[in-house]
């Protein structure tokens, strides 16, 4: 029996790039897949490819930024496959621009597609999964740019919001059998090509950078794991896969040291002069100083 033979999953933005790689991989493991994309031709092509290779898939084209459309995606999965056990919120758009150049239209559209689309679909999927009473798994797509990056402020803001949404809604879903996690993928895609001219300056301004981007397919096994029963104990996590590296991304935390006092302006100035200025947080994507690594320690 295939690992995901009992799963029925919706993947948004699956007409190409990462979404198509996820859809193909999941179908190859036996899952029934609803292929969504705003481009009808692309969605149908991926669904037909899966079917021609012996998999189960239907196309459900449409714009996830339209809140009501989320419910129709979930119902398309129900009608085609009799259930919905997983939902991958992959759809997103990317408009890199420096702060002085970002347009209102681009910023709004990224919020509508990346954030509102994810929120609407996650809400609809969780609601249907609750009614079915058999649990389920929702996977959202964040990004390393949530930590800040040159020319990615607006895009990163939408991805940081998705991460925060994941943490909050995962807390609300505890005990329901429904899990919500997020991934931070890295791949050579059409979206990445839009950012290629910025990679050098971005690398100079953060600790984490990569000489080359892996293919989209390298990210698919993580999605399959998070949708499978093997990840039943994983909830509210942001998992990063970057080539050969697999990591948990830390949630926002209050940094030590915490000084306690009845604060005046003068005392705050002293606190920064004597302590807090030496503990300012790194800008951009960075590694924590020490974390466990499979097979040993990485310092």
Q: Which residues are known to be catalytic?
A: 155
Of residues 61, 18, 63, the one with CA closest to residue 40: 61
Report how far Cα 67 is from the mean position of its chain's Cα atoms.
Answer: 19
Total Cβ atoms within 10 A of residue 39: 12
Strands of the chain (E only): list them. Answer: 8-11, 32-35, 56-59, 86-89, 136-141, 178-184, 238-242, 245-248, 291-293, 296-298
Phi and psi dihedrals of 172, rounded to 5? -70, -30
Cα 20 to Cα 113: distance, rounded to the nearest angstrom: 18
Nearest to 61 by CA among 78, 37, 81: 37
Q: How far apart are CA 185 and CA 121, in angstroms?
A: 19
59, β-bridge pairs: 35
Q: State both tokens at 267.
A: 């005392």
CA distance 143 to 141: 7
DSSP per-residue letters across 189-206:
-HHHHHTGGGHHHHHHTS
Q: Tokens for 20?
A: 């198509």
Q: Where are the alpha helices (DSSP H) in 82-238?
A: 104-110, 117-132, 153-173, 190-194, 199-204, 220-227
């Amino acid at each position: 029996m295939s690992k995901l033979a009992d799963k029925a999953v919706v993947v948004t933005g699956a007409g190409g790039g990462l979404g198509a790689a996820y859809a193909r991989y999941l179908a190859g493991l036996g899952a029934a897949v609803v292929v969504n994309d705003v481009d009808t031709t692309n969605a149908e092509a991926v669904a037909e490819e899966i079917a021609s290779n012996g998999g189960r898939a239907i196309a459900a084209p449409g714009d996830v930024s339209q809140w009501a459309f989320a419910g129709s995606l979930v119902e398309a999965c129900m009608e085609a496959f009799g259930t919905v056990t997983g939902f991958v919120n992959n759809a997103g758009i990317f408009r890199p621009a420096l702060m002085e150049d970002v347009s209102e239209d681009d910023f709004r559209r990224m919020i509508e597609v990346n954030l509102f689309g994810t929120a609407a679909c996650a809400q609809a999927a969780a609601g249907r999964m609750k009614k079915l009473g058999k649990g389920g798994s929702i996977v959202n797509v964040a990004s390393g740019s949530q930590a800040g990056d040159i020319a990615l402020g607006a895009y990163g803001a939408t991805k940081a919001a998705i991460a925060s949404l994941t943490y909050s809604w995962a807390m609300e879903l505890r005990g329901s059998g429904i899990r919500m996690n997020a991934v931070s993928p890295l791949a050579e895609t059409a979206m990445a090509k839009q950012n290629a001219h910025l990679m050098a300056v971005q690398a100079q301004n953060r600790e984490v950078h990569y000489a080359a981007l892996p293919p989209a397919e390298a990210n698919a096994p993580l999605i399959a794991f998070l949708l499978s029963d093997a990840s039943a104990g994983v909830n509210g996590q942001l998992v990063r896969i970057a080539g050969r590296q697999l990591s948990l991304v830390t949630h926002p935390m209050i940094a030590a040291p915490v000084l306690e006092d009845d604060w005046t302006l003068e005392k705050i100035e002293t606190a920064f002069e004597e302590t807090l200025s030496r503990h300012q947080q790194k800008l951009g994507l960075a590694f924590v100083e020490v974390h466990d690594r499979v097979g040993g320690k990485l310092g």
